[in-house]
Amino acid sequence: MLTNLREEACIESTRVSFADAHFPVPFRQGLEYSSPVRGTWNIVHTGMLIPESHQIFVCAQGCLRGVVLTAAEMNALDRYSSVMIREENVIDGTMESLMIEGVADVLHKLNYRPKAVLLFISCQHFFLAYDQELVFETLRERFPDIRFMECYMIPTLRKSGLTPDQKMRMQLFSLLEPKEKDHKKINLIGSNLPISITSELVKILNQNGYQLQLLNWCETFDDYMDMAESCLNLVYEPIGIPAARDLEKRLGQPYCYLPFVFDFDELEKNYRKLTDRLNIVPQSYEKEKEEAISALKSAKELIGDACIATDYTFTFRILSFTKMLLLHGFHVTELYADTFLPEEQTDFEWIREHYPEIQIISTNRPDMRILPKERDDKVLAIGQKAAYFTGTDHFVNVVESGGMFGFDGIRQIAELMKDAYLNEKPRKEIIQKKGYGCESCI
Amino acid sequence: MKKIAIYGKGGIGKSTIVSNLSVAFAKKGLKVMQIGCDPKADSTIALRHGKHLPTVLETVRRNRDFALEEVVMPGYGGVACVEAGGPIPGLGCAGRGIITALEKLKEKGAYEIYQPDIVLYDVLGDVVCGGFSMPMRSGYADRVFIVTSGENMSIYAAANIAMAIDNFKGRGYAKLGGLILNKRNVRDEHKKVQELCTEIHTSVVGELDFCEIVQEAESLKQTVLEAFPDSHMAKQYMQLAEQMLEQAE
């Protein structure tokens, strides 16, 4: 019989002030709690970005639960299949034939012909070191009209080497083959969500005759394959860098990293880096900057000194974002995160120096499961996790920065903050939906 | 680059033969790499004069970002020596250990950096699981040679190994190069080994006498080719190396 060993949560283990926090990992690593916040994307959502593709997961039945629910929830079950590994496949070493015949069976039974198959292998394949080359070569020979993408669902490697998310974003472009380069085509890769078309970045490229392409904007599989024609890959999320490096190596497409930051000077540096790279005349961003400042000022006037909580699901550069809010007078009291990116150290040190009392609160420490969630004061949360843990219905519902890049992005975020402060959102209904931005049947 | 895997029943003398072959190939002017695929990690001991060689697995456990020089060390005749190693005794999975070690060497570019003319994989005993068939795979050995004597258990193990090679014939894995008869002077030894050859459609590429010189060299922690270079056993190893090279063409 299970016994409740401790009724009170150990709050101290879940929070630390910037003054006392270690960078980049402020909390002890160990048993983790997973909150019901589901807005961030997983490998199924990301893979579905490839038009005319079908996903096949090969793993033990128990491991299929999460991915099949994701596919069902996003109304994409017609683009999802699975092949189950049984004990005899492990004992008899028939993993290769199971994969080949299983996938063939799925393809024969489908009522459409996918242009590409994203074939996911799991921990079992890794432990057994099945012959991946043989499996994919055989499938490619047997189905020459279908491209097979090697994809991985190996959570046991979550904390060593590339994370499943980084790997997925890299594999996503693995089907691209060398093509003649078009010097007026540029890709933006490594992000799940499309960039806002009003962003200065898009304008710079459009005004100089460049055609920007994103996976999100591809309507056909051929559009996706044509991304190999681009002469440059832009990447603004650090998680997309392995993909950019891989494309540089395989296709000879150089890449330019323009960090998705919220620091005004850093943004201008980004644009200078881009214009230098493309050898085009830099322009002034004063108007966009003023609009961003004005929107932030207006938001500050409305929100005043109300408590603001931010979280890492809102943006990969949460410290840059939080610093920007602090610089514009907002009263940030807490930040929900478990680790930080190495490149955030400068922002971390700045907050530590100027606002050492701000609390960093874990989202995955086991004691977070029973912390009181309702608060008396009005809190504006920026990000779904901050909303969940502070129990506020006033929150900005955005994941992965929502593509709101640059000064224009900051302006948009300020508007969203105002809206969130004035209007409540159905928190429970929103945060339980997987992959915010994807279709959901819930 | 030629890649050869030597299989055979445990205790049949594989490591002794492989180490002598490494020296024989080196004497022919070839750059040799010997990779011990046995958790005991004693394949290259005669080449290293008994000196410890950190195994790939123990090094990986200590530091995932290890440098190749930590696990690839020169032995007698300039042979590049590597030991895959194994899990902590009684724990883990030896087969998975071999897989990890070979994958790590490949990932670190061992073959490109050391550019050996010939790679010899000395693989533990029978093909007891998928891990021990790893050296047979595409990208690893091109040829497999099986060491056997006329003893029944040794012949049984050799037949099993041949069966594994046959099972993989459609996959483009390593081909069977032949048997190496390491004599134990048992009754009807030649006849029994010839019967095995007929059964598994192969031939004996070389014979090695049962000779105390081999044990003497071992007690000196040297190969026969180093300790007794003018002995008849040294000649047999040189001849065997020649025949294997021909087979591996």
Is B131 in contact with A129 (Cβ distance < 8 A)? yes
pLDDT mean across residues, chain A: 94
Residues of B in contact with A160 (CB under 8 A): 64
Considering the domain architecture, whether residues A109 and A66 belong to the same structural domain is answered as yes
Considering the domain architecture, whether residues A301 and A427 belong to the same structural domain is answered as yes
Is B96 in contact with A127 (Cβ distance < 8 A)? yes
Considering the domain architecture, whether residues A150 and A53 belong to the same structural domain is answered as yes
Considering the domain architecture, whether residues A231 and A186 belong to the same structural domain is answered as yes
3-state secondary structure of A243: helix
Reply yes or no on whether the pLDDT at A10 is more than 80. no
Which of A129, A133, A134 minimises the CB distance to B99?
A129
pLDDT tens for B216-243 read 999 999 999 999 999 999 999 999 999 9
Is the residue at A271 inside a domain? yes
Residues of B in contact with A91 (CB under 8 A): none
Looking at CA atoms only, how far is residue A159 from chain B in angstroms? 13
Reply yes or no on whether the pLDDT at B67 is more than 70. yes
Is the residue at A132 inside a domain? yes
Considering the domain architecture, whether residues A155 and A190 belong to the same structural domain is answered as no
Considering the domain architecture, whether residues A149 and A265 belong to the same structural domain is answered as no
Considering the domain architecture, whether residues A319 and A253 belong to the same structural domain is answered as no
Residue A370's pLDDT is 80
Residues whose CB falls within 8 Å of the CB of residue B149, separated by 6 or more in sequence, listed in order: B12, B181, B182, B183, B184, B186, B189, B193
Is the residue at A83 inside a domain? yes
- CATH number for the domain harbouring residue A326: 3.40.50
Considering the domain architecture, whether residues A99 and A195 belong to the same structural domain is answered as no
Give the range of the structural domain holding residue B236, as residue numbers without chain letter: 2-248
pLDDT tens for A386-399 read 999 999 999 999 99
Reply yes or no on whether the pLDDT at A157 is more than 70. no
Is the residue at A24 inside a domain? no
- How many Å apart are CA A188 and CA A194, to the nearest integer? 9
Residue B112's pLDDT is 95
- CATH number for the domain harbouring residue B209: 3.40.50.300
Question: Quick check: A133 contacting B, CB < 8 Å?
Answer: yes
What does R_g of chain B's alpha carbons equal in angstroms?
17
Considering the domain architecture, whether residues A332 and A372 belong to the same structural domain is answered as yes
Considering the domain architecture, whether residues A327 and A376 belong to the same structural domain is answered as yes
Residue A158's pLDDT is 60
Reply yes or no on whether the pLDDT at A1 is more than 80. no
Is the residue at A368 inside a domain? yes
pLDDT band at A156 (very low <50, low <70, confident <90, very high): confident
Task: Give me the interface pTM, i.e. the ipTM.
Answer: 0.79
- CATH number for the domain harbouring residue A138: 3.40.50.1980
pLDDT tens for A187-239 read 999 999 999 999 999 999 999 999 999 999 999 999 999 999 999 999 999 99
3-state secondary structure of A427: helix
Residues of B in contact with A129 (CB under 8 A): 96, 99, 103, 130-131, 134
Is the residue at A27 inside a domain? no
Strand pairing category for B73-74 and B80-83: antiparallel
In one letter, which amino acid is A260? F
pLDDT tens for A49-61 read 999 999 999 999 8
Is A131 in contact with B137 (Cβ distance < 8 A)? yes
Considering the domain architecture, whether residues A142 and A201 belong to the same structural domain is answered as no
pTM of the model: 0.88
pLDDT tens for B98-153 read 888 999 999 999 999 999 999 999 998 776 688 888 899 888 999 999 999 999 99
Could you identify the residue written with the tokens 């910037």? Answer: A18
Give the range of the structural domain holding residue A237, as residue numbers without chain letter: 182-278
Question: Active-site positions of B?
Answer: 9, 14, 40, 126
Question: Quick check: B32 contacting A, CB < 8 Å?
Answer: no
Lowest mean pLDDT among A160-164, A181-185, A326-330, B145-149: A160-164
Total domains in chain A come to 3
The DSSP letter of residue A34 is: -
Is B130 in contact with A128 (Cβ distance < 8 A)? yes
Is the residue at A29 inside a domain? no
Is A134 in contact with B138 (Cβ distance < 8 A)? yes
Number of neighbouring beta carbons within 10 Å of residue A179: 14
| pLDDT cut 90: percent of chain A above it | 84
Considering the domain architecture, whether residues A89 and A214 belong to the same structural domain is answered as no
Residues of A in contact with B93 (CB under 8 A): 127
Total domains in chain B come to 1
Question: Quick check: A219 contacting B, CB < 8 Å?
Answer: no
Residue A333's pLDDT is 97
Is the residue at A23 inside a domain? no
> What is chain B's length?
249
